[in-house]
Structure 1
Amino acid sequence: MRVHKFNFAALAVAMSLALTACDDGDVKEKAGPSPASSVSAPAHGAGSGGSEQGGAKNSAERSPGGQSTTAKSAEGLQPGDALAAHNFRLRMDGVPVEYLQEVSGLEDQKVTLVRGVTHSPEVDRWIDDAIAGREGRLKDVAVEMLDYQDNTVKQYQLRGAFVERVTYSDPPGQDSLTVRFFALVIQ
């Protein structure tokens, strides 16, 4: 376990790693966007239309004239296929509370979290506590990077975290939270 207080460049690079599908069906790691840009997960339910267990087993769709309209192979991942519905999960008090669509802007002891369509009451209460200036606003939370089976690949614990700003989206479903924290622990 390492404790970092001010060096966020390494964390931003680590969080920007994304899985990508290759032409031969193998999965490789690829460096993502620069530390100042965002790392996004596909929206829930988005993806290839294939099964979550891996390969797309889709047969080619036919047009009214009988011609194939889909060029997907019978098996394996194709470039652009989504490997997971969510790539990040938020944990509070050791309990997973909400999936996140995006984690970005990690700098100067703050990070921006974009929430998904479903909001948990625990996170809503944390936001309310921060807005009201209540004592419960400081939390130890963790942002987990997940693989395609929802297993934690890496965990970023934000110690003494509080919601500094909330930006509500229109249409709803992509509200963003700017979260400040005092210390960072990478596991």
Structure 2
Amino acid sequence: MSLQPGDALTSHNFGLQIDGVMVEYLQEVSGLSIEQDVIEYQQVSANGKPVTKKLPGVKKAGECTVTRGMTSSAAFTQWINNSISGNMGSARKNASIIMMDYQNAPVKRYNLRNAWCSKVEAGGVKAGDASALTEQVTIVFEELVIE
């Protein structure tokens, strides 16, 4: 690994892999989150003192948002279309958000199990504007495993 002790990863070197295929162009990945319920359990000890414990509860599914340049990527567009049309047999895929060092070596992976697109939002268009057209895709997933 090319990171030295004390080095941190940079935020500009990342990738999204869907069923082993890297998505060609990405601008941003944001909001990667997953939650777990917390159970608060109260009881009284043998000497009569109240004791409060916090226990892990049920894991909730997570989501993240991917912003990408609007390209002609047929694979990514097909995945979005399968999700939006409800074709869940083809839409549920395993995806990974990969953080890389400055030599493009993978350092950390966020593996998303049974991921699919729940929302697509196209960037605004405006006559005379010279900016790139983007789309935001909200990806939901059932489980997150961090490597």
Q: Where does residue 77 of structure 1 map in the other structure?
A: none
> 8 Å contact 1:154–1:186 — kept in the other structure?
yes
Q: Which moved further from structure 2: 116-125 or 156-165?
A: 116-125
Q: Equivalents in 1 of 2:70, 2:135: separation in Å?
A: 9
Q: Equivalents in 1 of 2:72, 2:66: separation in Å?
A: 13
> 8 Å contact 1:98–1:119 — kept in the other structure?
no
Query: In structure 2, do the counterparts of structure 1 residues 152 and 118 end up closer, same or farther at CA, with 3 Å as the change threshold?
Result: farther
Q: Where does residue 100 of structure 1 map in the other structure?
A: 26
Deviations 1:95-137 (A, max 9, x none): 2233321111123401111113545221111000011111211
- Matched residue of 2:25: which SS? strand
Q: Where does residue 113 of structure 1 map in the other structure?
A: 66
Q: Equivalents in 1 of 2:121, 2:64: separation in Å?
A: 13
Query: In structure 2, do the counterparts of structure 1 residues 88 and 138 end up closer, same or farther at CA, with 3 Å as the change threshold?
Result: same
> 8 Å contact 1:88–1:99 — kept in the other structure?
no
Bigger fraction of residues in strand: 2
Q: Where does residue 140 of structure 2 map in the other structure?
A: 180
- TM-score normalized by structure 1? 0.51
Query: In structure 2, do the counterparts of structure 1 residues 107 and 186 end up closer, same or farther at CA, with 3 Å as the change threshold?
Result: closer
Q: Equivalents in 2 of 1:154, 1:173: separation in Å?
A: 29
Larger RCO, structure (CA 8 Å, separation 6 or more)? 2
Q: Equivalents in 1 of 2:109, 2:72: separation in Å?
A: 21
1:149 Cα offset (Å) = 2.6
Q: Equivalents in 2 of 1:115, 1:155: separation in Å?
A: 19
Gaps of 5+ in 2: 1-5, 35-61, 126-131
Q: Which moved further from structure 2: 108-117 or 123-132?
A: 108-117
Q: Where does residue 133 of structure 1 map in the other structure?
A: 86
Q: Which moved further from structure 2: 165-174 or 136-145?
A: 165-174
Amino acid at match of 1:93: D
Structure possessing the higher radius of gyration over alpha carbons = 2
Structure 1: which 4+ aligned runs deviate by more than 4 Å? none
Gaps of 5+ in 1: 1-26, 33-39, 42-86
Q: Where does residue 74 of structure 1 map in the other structure?
A: none
Amino acid at match of 1:158: L
Q: Give aligned-pair identity as a percent.
A: 40
1:43-82, aligned counterparts within 5 Å? Answer: none
